[in-house]
Structure 1
Amino acid sequence: MQMNLNLDIDYVATAKKVTNFLDKKLDRYLALSGKQRYDLKSPTFDGMPKGPVSGNSNENRMININIAENVVDCVGQAMRNLTSESQRILLSRYSDSMMVYKIAEELNYSASTYTRRQEKALCEFADRFEFQVIKHGLQDEVVDLHVYSKN
């Protein structure tokens, strides 16, 4: 059996898509899960599987909350599994809500160096998040954050 792995990633577009997810969509998942951005830094797993169930509207709300909790757990786990540099960049921005110029200053990066390193960190996050989403069985609930080149 031959597997067709598409490794031709458009890094700029992927970084933009991840930024949109972390800046906008993550807030909805956080709200539904009852968690805050600072929770991304520490493990919050209870060890219990959180599989979807089906049924009436109350059950559907519980399913949405369950999915949101799992997505937030995936984001946190992906963040904590990043390389040290990527972790510092993304957790400073998306957990501590630091301004970009302040992060660059703390890391002693020029604006252009910070931009390149942030793009790399965002793409690394997309890879690690994809792994967590699949591991948690959420691939039908969460869109892939990668953008692939059309070669």
Structure 2
Amino acid sequence: MRVPRANMGSWFGPEQSTGQIYFSQAVPQGPTSINVSLQGLDALSGGYHVHILPLRSDSPDPCSNANIQGHYNPLSFNVSNSPSPGVGTVDQYEIGDISGKFGLLTNQNDTDALHLDPDMPLNGPYSVVGRSVHPVVGSGTLCGNRWLCQLPPMGPLLSFTLHSQK
């Protein structure tokens, strides 16, 4: 039996940021464990989300909305009904809203957390695999204010790397 996993490789954020985000399921269709270990954020990050599309390395503006198309929300959940980040249950947020479900990275220099999410599948029609994850720095209004990573679309062990986009 293949167990779905997605593993982030080296973290290339601002300055000396390092770390890893590891997504796994003990069994297919089971809840997803999200193991977040990030260091050296310098209190610059805020939210982090799975976006609809993977990064396009051939694009001059890979994190533009035209290229990544916003947060992954295949069930068209009305985000205005979501509670503040980190206070609701996982079913009260978009599938890809990691920081909404588990809290922002705001004012953190280092974070080590393990989250369990029954609503973030790694396989099936609503899988987050093959998409991109974007931690937002500051207001996130500019492409240069995002760290970028991509979840590749194939293989039993899926690795991706975050890159600083300036």
Give the strand-richer structure, 1 or 2: 2
Who wins on radius of gyration, i.e. which is larger? 1
What's the TM-score once normalised by structure 1's chain length? 0.28
- Tell me the TM-score normalized by structure 2: 0.27
